[in-house]
Amino acid sequence: MSRALDKIYNKTIGQKIREARENNIIYITNGDKAVPKKKLTTQQRLGKALGVTFQQIQKYESGHNGVSSLKLIQISNFFNKPLDYFTSDQQNYWRKLDQPIIAQLKFLSPLKMSSIKFNQA
């Protein structure tokens, strides 16, 4: 993957991390019933749970630094969300790229084009 694509990939995952953090709902017990309450999970709280600094969380969210697979799994567990929540937008991103890439590859012979496979998920 090129460096520019890495940045876009990191930024979109970072946006999903920020979204999960800002939309985190906790349940407060009030007597015998649980009342949902939206509570902002701070970067510091998330960082502490992951064993990193809040500055590292800022870098993840801004897309400046990529998130390792292990950290993404930890983030997924922290917010009780499936990994797809953080990566599903990536599939749409790659689908959008398919057409420009195909257009750029038209100079290839039909034999070479037939050997290139694109994910049609």
Residue 27: inside a domain: yes
Token representation of residue 60:
């993840």
Question: How does residue 39 score in pLDDT terms, banded at 50, 70 and 90?
Answer: low
Q: Using 50, 70 and 90 to split pLDDT, how confident is the model at 27?
A: low
Domain count across the chain: 1
68 has a pLDDT exceeding 70? yes
Give the range of the structural domain holding residue 77, as residue numbers without chain letter: 3-82
Instruction: Look up the CATH number of the domain holding residue 43.
Output: 1.10.260.40
Of the candidates 119, 111, 112, which has an alpha carbon nearest to the alpha carbon of residue 95?
119
**Reported confidence tier of residue 118, pLDDT bands at 50, 70, 90:** low
Residue 98, in any domain of the structure = no
Residue 61 lies in a domain: yes
118 domain residue, yes or no:
no
pLDDT at 111 over 50: no
Evaluate if residue 50 carries a pLDDT over 60: yes
